[in-house]
Amino acid sequence: MKSVRLACLLAFALAPLSAEAQSFNCSRASTADEVLICQDATLSRLDERMAGMYSRLRNRLVGHGREGLMDGQAEWLRSRHACGRDAGCIEDAYRRRIRELSEF
């Protein structure tokens, strides 16, 4: 039984990631949320959309506006990490952040 479990774990660990995130390198994904984002095409697309919006805003802003944006992103990232492997939680987090960035 242990060998079957080990084989399953190895197969999962060695399986290629099916999606690619924009805001981080999937080959270095280390947290449960990052791994799931890299494996899920919907979450990966949301990551790409949010990362593009964030990057464009960060490049346009200066001073306190830029600092506020970056602080908000760090806070959002902590909340996304807290989702772990809960895809619904991660998707909700992305959709909320995309709404926030569109109102910036």
What is the structure's pLDDT at 19?
58
User: Concatenated DSSP letters for 13-40?
Assistant: HHSPPSS--SSS-GGG--SHHHHHHHH-
Mean pLDDT, residues 41-57: 97
Apex 24 CA angle, 21 and 26, nearest 5: 60
Task: Tell me what percent of the residues of the chain surpass a pLDDT of 70.
Answer: 81
**Average pLDDT estimate for 11-16:** 42
Higher-confidence position of 71 and 17: 71
Phi, psi of 98 (to 5 degrees): -60, -40
